[in-house]
Chain A
């Protein structure tokens, strides 16, 4: 018994110790310890670095000072110093004693004095007053002495004077050396600072003791870190608590700068900081206190989701980015062993997390963290009012795809409520295409036009059995029968004959190519038509699809056929329209035409039709009634019935306007609001028999988009009840973007103070951008400065085993603003250094080689450019040879050469522009300031935002020589450049010919409403204002109050202006109406007064290149230019005098 008791007691003690240890040894503590060690190591390195830097910078100065110090010390009179110090020694005791006496006596005197004063002024104490007076006087005598000199005070002052004298003498001797010492200390101040920092971080036994078990309750240096999120709560059922994020307990440097890279003292190299200690990317935007997303307000889980209260890797609900793939691999490996798959599995983040942290799919948390590819989904919680979120390219792309592909046609979604149906109007389809063409198109749209957004609806994975295929055929036939029967337009009459050659020329010139592509369009395939180049359908093959009558009527006025079309009216004349029609009819799709089966409609199989109709009837009516109804119908009626039913079932009216379906309800599942797809309860999602799909919402959405009918697999379902979402044939990247967007549609509502502030201005900009996007203005114009984000590979998607260069490439990003601030000279110097240092990665080298190669080819044929072309070829050879020294030399001399001929070259042909750094960044993720940091071995800062120019403009005009003004005008600063009322009128009724008579490209009539035109006018003035006032220091035309010009002076000015006008030969480029068109024409002067802003005119004439680097207009006023500010003003008066406002009717 005793033995049992002893043993069990010992076991209990051991268990309790184990319990304590278990509670004590938490993973976050070891993270904090590791971090402390890292921080200390980094501080040691920082100290060394600063020491070296100080040594380098002030080394000579310091050694000089030290020398001087030594000399000064040598010069000191040692004997004299010795003597003084002996003297000090000898009087030290007396001095201290006297000082003490003096202080005591003074305090006694003060006390007696105060008592005496009190007694004197209080009648009740009159008796004592005398005594106090006497005592006071006694003390005064004692303190000052009878003669006022020999008392305690006098004694002290005497010896104190002696002491101070000695000290002063000593100091005088030492002063020189001390001064030098002080100077040295100032130079070494930086060292002292880092030394302090280092010593604070140094390992310390005291800290270890405080962190020891049990003692740690006092003042543990290892603490759980948490952020309480103001205004956010968690519903704990029966009580509401504050929302708390403890992520920073392990992610200790998440909001600190500089924790991207750290110095590895052993390898002597910078290397990535291991997780969880890395800084958050782009701290200017996230987490730091003055960023818009300060950690104290937003915490972590607001954006990342997950369990903020948990301090354990698994229960915090981390989600790996490749869980779906890993799950699929595991499923496959479960059935058969395959070393290749196993190897792939072992590379996945999921697998690695499982090994490292024992990760498993978080079952205990409804909202696990977003995997890295879907982070941006959280932006919408606060940025729901923003039509596009600037910093969330994937989310934006997802939303754009959602809109372009017409997802909202079937799925109700609050954000897409006001969008037009994405497909063309089918109410007059009979006039447009043949039934045979339409049949084969619906069966497989992409086989006619690979870039179309029209999805496939038939013969998909749940409807491709032989019997189903026959039913599909009957269904499509009946749908078309319905559409063609209900068509409200018959065929258009044959158009007048046109000249196809002339039509082709006109089509290329007049502006059609701003939205349409003719021929191969690899980009559009890749981008799925979300960019401006392929805004409208690719015109290849339209000759095989359309009839001339329809084309003729359409190009003349698209709205007569399709009132809501986005295609504007180019105001083509009859002859022009006929020519274009003739040309378009020559654009055949030979493969399509060659296939005989495309020419005819297959015959209707009455049996299949009957069975299909019966199936749908039975879904509505009892069996016998259905049979009876079927018997009553003839084939025509059957086709119409099945057509109508199938259109309703497939939801064709979601994208197309169809007669009889104008007010139909959308057929798809609601995606926003209370049924928000991003907050969907997993239990409510049907995974069917698709066991390889892991049970997460994002995996399901992705699988659904990949094969929308897959969840019918293995089921016994009637033809009428099968899944009906069409197949969009999206690429995996596009699916991922759409999933990001879908996940962003959540139920969760954040308090008002979290919502992105929607100022009226901001709202206006968003609305206008949407209009600009929908009108595809960028198809022809380049518009304004937009922040362009260069998309980096996901932080996590990099192979952790990949080379270090690849890693550094990812992190080497800097805020774009800094890039712009750098001068070109500085850039090329850095470029040279960078190349010389041999730090070029393969990707970067390839990018550079491609760039230089293109340059060499372009310049080769240009007269006067032979030498530069030769230089480019040399540089290319050096780049290809990968010789750092030579490369650095030849590339940098090429850069210099290019810069000297800048005015003759297009923007693409410069190698040192900001654009170049963007290119480098695209290829190798390195930018100049980062290179600089690399070269200095400084830890780089990362960020991914670069300010660039949004692309735009008709492709064929982009390569024009500078100054060639055949392209549609650049719209930079447009709002300040022209008078708003003019812009309004112009938008409503464009008159290209009056302003730029030489232009063949035409501003089309968009049919903007007054509201829309006003929106654009306001938008342009809003985005133009910054540029207009930025150059305040050198601007010779600051804004000034309007001065009243006397009529006489005005006349003088106009006359002077006319003289200058003649002298500068302005009319050579700006012709008057009726004058012959010069070679390099510019808008006529007569209309400028009614169009251009008066203030802007001055600035433009002064320095036109400031606003448009490619303009052909000379810079008249710039420093040392031809005209003084006053002269420019005179020219203005002259020009304005020419303008005759039209008489209002």
Chain B
């Protein structure tokens, strides 16, 4: 039903990870920037309807259908709808509240009316119980319809291709493409947990407590939503629908050809520096060899926070104090650096900034 030309164009465009991710990031910032307009039903409804119609039309494509109809992938589609809906709801509330705040009115949540208060029992627990029942129904019906087959004992010598992590870990699995396993699998998850745990200590700003707002917390909301929507949900989506056999990147209507070959031409920063830029042999000493990368890292994590404290974050720095600022800025730079590293890989085929294969230390 979709014109072939459209499919081809979509495949052509979206089978590049850089373009796909850039489009998503651009869309993300566009929505936040114009959040008041975008969340208006007049805009949001046609937008979401358009996406749904596109999705439905895409089902007619056999390749697209094969991927989305895989038993494991169906819930991811549902999750996208739910996440989109909830995000819209939150942003919409924020937009309305921000308007009210501008007019000097309290936020809607604070517009206390007595009759708005309800009891935990029956009102809350009752609703939760109904939700529980409905969830049970969905799960039972789903498992009946799915009818999981009896398979043979797993064969360790023959793993599926692509081998995918459970859906909630697909974002981390994506990181494995760009980082060493110990970074992607150990350091990053640890940092995420520490970072999430540190939020209450970093962010003492009481604004936004108990009500939706964007204008009062633009940085906090943006950075969190970027982490959650782009780096988590979108990477889950990407891992599910765009990563095919051999972990190759596929367009939405592309056939998952097991024989698709992509050139593997990644180069380390040191190689760029010495071989391309200076046109000389690689130094034998690994410290000298990796000096450019180490320098970049030192500048990025050592100097940049200080520069930022004087420039972009000059308002934050005094209010946060040195220690809190440094924790925040390093976590922030970590997030940005992760994305930057992905882009460097896609655009410049940069393998590692610092590569010590001698110690299995590659960044």
Contacts and interface: CB of A to CB of B under 8 A. Distances in A.
Given A1-B127, A16-B140, A237-B156, A364 B149 contact: yes
| B-side interface size class | 20 to 34
Contacts of B110: none
Contact of B152 (A5, A16, A366, A681): A366
A366 B155 contact: yes
B130 A12 contact: no
B122 A1 contact: yes
B78 interface: no
Given A8-B130, A12-B133, A307-B150, 9 more contacts: A11-B133, A15-B136, A15-B137, A18-B140, A19-B144, A312-B149, A312-B150, A366-B155, A683-B161
Interface residues of A, number: 28
B153 A5 contact: no
A5 B129 contact: yes
A315 B150 contact: yes
Interface in B121-168: 122-123, 126-127, 129-130, 133-134, 136-137, 140-141, 144, 149-158, 161
Contacts of B126: 1, 5
Contacts of B155: 366
A365 B156 CA distance: 14
A1048 interface: no
Nearest to B158: A681
Nearest to A16: B140
Nearest to A309: B150
Interface string A10-46: 0110011011001000000000000000000000000
B131 to A, nearest CB: 9
Chain B interface SS verdict (over half): helix
Interface of B: 122-123, 126-127, 129-130, 133-134, 136-137, 140-141, 144, 149-158, 161
Given A1-B127, A15-B141, A237-B154, A315 B133 contact: no
A15 B149 CA distance: 21
A843 to B, nearest CB: 43
A207 B68 CA distance: 46
17 contacts: A1-B123, A5-B133, A8-B130, A8-B134, A9-B133, A235-B153, A237-B153, A237-B154, A310-B150, A312-B149, A314-B149, A364-B150, A365-B151, A365-B152, A366-B155, A366-B158, A683-B161
A1 B144 CA distance: 28
Given A1-B127, A5-B126, A366-B158, A236 B137 contact: no
Contacts of A594: none
Given A5-B130, A237-B156, A364 B141 contact: no
B151 A364 contact: yes
A19 B140 contact: yes
B17 to A, nearest CB: 26
A418 B152 CA distance: 38
Contacts of A1: 122-123, 126-127, 130
Given A1-B127, A5-B126, A16-B140, A234 B150 contact: no
Interface in A302-347: 307, 309-310, 312, 314-315
Nearest to A317: B152
A4 B123 CA distance: 13
Interface string A658-686: 00000000000000000000000101000
A8 B153 contact: no
Interface in A166-217: none
A688 to B, nearest CB: 9
B84 to A, nearest CB: 25
Interface in A281-312: 307, 309-310, 312
A160 B207 CA distance: 113
Contact of A315 (B122, B149, B156): B149
Given A1-B122, A364-B151, A683-B161, A15 B130 contact: no
Contacts of B129: 5
A437 to B, nearest CB: 45
A9 B137 CA distance: 9
Contacts of B158: 366, 681, 683
Nearest to A364: B151
A1 B130 CA distance: 9
A874 B153 CA distance: 68
Contacts of A309: 150
A234 B130 contact: no
A236 B153 CA distance: 5
Contacts of A22: 144
Contacts of A365: 151-152
A18 B140 CA distance: 9
Nearest to A240: B153
B144 A8 contact: no
B28 to A, nearest CB: 36
A307 to B, nearest CB: 7
Contacts of B130: 1, 4-5, 8
A612 to B, nearest CB: 29
A234 B158 CA distance: 17
Given A5-B129, A18-B144, A366-B158, A11 B137 contact: yes
Contacts of A235: 153
Nearest to B131: A8
A661 B158 CA distance: 39
A455 B158 CA distance: 36
* Nearest 10 Cβ contacts at the A-B interface: A364-B151, A8-B133, A236-B153, A315-B149, A15-B140, A15-B137, A310-B150, A22-B144, A12-B133, A365-B152
Contact of A12 (B122, B137, B151, B154): B137
A237 B154 CA distance: 7
Contacts of B157: 681
B152 A307 contact: yes
B344 to A, nearest CB: 33
A12 B134 CA distance: 8
A1007 B125 CA distance: 98
B153 A234 contact: yes
Contacts of B151: 364-365
B90 to A, nearest CB: 24
Contacts of A15: 136-137, 140-141
B177 to A, nearest CB: 22
B356 to A, nearest CB: 34
Contacts of A367: 152
A307 B153 CA distance: 11
A279 to B, nearest CB: 27
Contacts of A310: 150
A309 B150 CA distance: 8
Contacts of B150: 307, 309-310, 312, 315, 364
Contacts of B161: 683
Contacts of A364: 149-152
Contacts of A683: 158, 161
A485 to B, nearest CB: 44
Contacts of B154: 237
A16 B139 CA distance: 11
For B130, B141, B155, B156, the residue with the greatest tally of chain A CB atoms inside 10 Å of its CB is: B130
A307 B141 CA distance: 27
Contacts of A236: 153
A16 to B, nearest CB: 7
B135 to A, nearest CB: 10
Contacts of A681: 157-158
Contacts of A5: 126, 129-130, 133
A300 to B, nearest CB: 16
Contacts of B140: 15-16, 18-19
Contacts of A16: 140
A236 B151 CA distance: 11
Contacts of B153: 234-237
A105 B151 CA distance: 75
A1 B127 CA distance: 8
Nearest to B138: A15
Nearest to A18: B144
Given A1-B127, A22-B144, A12 B149 contact: no
Contacts of A315: 149-150
